[in-house]
Amino acid sequence: MKIICIGRNYTEHIKELANERPSDPVVFIKPDSAILPKEQDFFIPEFTEDVHYEVEILVKIKKVGKHIDPKFAHTYYDEIGLGIDFTARDVQAQLKEKGLPWEKAKGFDGSAVIGNWLPKSDFKDLNHLAFSLLKNGVTVQKGNTCHMIWKIDPLVAYVSKYFTLKKGDILFTGTPAGVGKIMPNDYLSGVLEGHEMFFVKIK
């Protein structure tokens, strides 16, 4: 399985990092080794001093697809989740300055938190899902899929032009504003439409 991630998909997040609004979705990949095992603490890597949390809506692909028509994209997934794209922001800044790929900053071991999954049928409208991230019990990120620049179905169709989607692949759909630094002994929890989806302690 592979993890396909979308960057710069919420306008306010683009602004907070002073990035340029893209004309097409920004796509990058995390290896499966990036997945943080369930119930395992996240250990801040030794090569960074500035790891940021980025909470995101996740989509789990259920069947093989290539060049998917947007009107059929909804048939390629049945489950929605919530997770964190941990980012070594200092490493990413160095890579961006040199025009290099982001993988060392985005795809390191444990950088992908994947919470629980819920049937998409549990939700009335996937284009209006409220979600949030709490750090030490305080809400630090709040988002809603209605604010996505590219919604879920168009994203599934778009990435399928470049990568064959396979059963079990996971799509990270981008993070809203409010990203920030983590410190040892922090704890993070994610909430999607009132459901707690994950809990992570930082070491």
3-state secondary structure 24-39: CCEEEEECHHHECCCC
Strand partners, 1: none
pLDDT of the residue at 14: 57
Mapped onto helix, strand or coil, the DSSP state of residue 127 is helix
Enter the tokens of residue 136: 């030490």
Give the side-chain half-sphere CA count within 13 A for 124.
Answer: 4
pLDDT of the residue at 65: 98
Domain span at 64: 3-201
Under a CB-based contact definition with an 8 Å cutoff, are residues 156 and 73 in contact?
Answer: yes
pLDDT of the residue at 23: 82
Strand partners, 5: 28, 172
Query: Which segments of 90-149 are extended strands (E)?
Result: 112-119, 130-135, 138-144
- DSSP character string of 139-201: EEEEEEGGGBSS-HHHHHHHHTTTS-B-TT-EEE----S--EE--TT-EEEEEETTEEEEEEE
**Cα separation, 188 vs 132, whole angstroms:** 10
Q: Which residues of the chain have pLDDT under 50?
A: none
pLDDT of the residue at 16: 63
Parallel, antiparallel or unpaired: strands 170-172 and 3-7:
parallel
pLDDT of the residue at 84: 98
**Dihedral Cα 184, 190, 196, 200, nearest 10 deg:** -20
Residue found by looking up tokens 């302690």 in the block: 201
pLDDT of the residue at 13: 58
Q: What is the CATH number of the domain that holds 181?
A: 3.90.850.10
pLDDT of the residue at 1: 94
Q: Which helix (H) or strand (E) holds 80?
A: strand 77-85
pLDDT of the residue at 194: 96
- Total domains present in the chain: 1
**Cα separation, 187 vs 167, whole angstroms:** 31
Running DSSP on this structure, what letter comes out for residue 104?
Answer: H
